[in-house]
Structure 1
Amino acid sequence: MQVCKNNHDNALKFIYLLIHSSPSTSPMNRQYLTIDDWDYFIQDIIDTHPGLKFLREAREFHSRYIKTVAARVYYNCNRSW
């Protein structure tokens, strides 16, 4: 499997999976994330997390919630490095 062969630590594996789960990803061989790479991952959390049931029913807020969560990830990572 290419994930484990080319990405030797957990952080790189996670980035690889996020990049390749997004249909809008281009180019596929990049080593960085964009804000859009988080969409499918966070949408899956919305769809499956029991604590987000209230949000599941309000589809008009999904895109805003996804962008907010992704922005917080970047903000928190930037502060911790």
Structure 2
Amino acid sequence: MGTSKTPTAYEPIGPEELERLQTIFETARYIACMSRHDPAAERLAAMAIRFYQLGIRDDDALIHTIVKTNRALRPIQA
């Protein structure tokens, strides 16, 4: 039985992966025109981690998924 090198939701995220997720979060936050101090920024960070754990490893796909999901979840402004 071989071991998988792909992290799963049950494996800890390593320092290199965390650094990569930080860059992905910052890019998604910039695209979403969101301040680092905006309470919703925490949700973006959580999405970055969760989607990564679910298996989205391509940076562009991960950023796109985060931004698209954030837009779908934010309230409609009048």
Normalised by the length of structure 1, the TM-score is 0.32
Which structure has more relative contact order (CA 8 Å, sep 6+)? It is 2
Q: Which structure dedicates a bigger proportion of its chain to helix?
A: 1
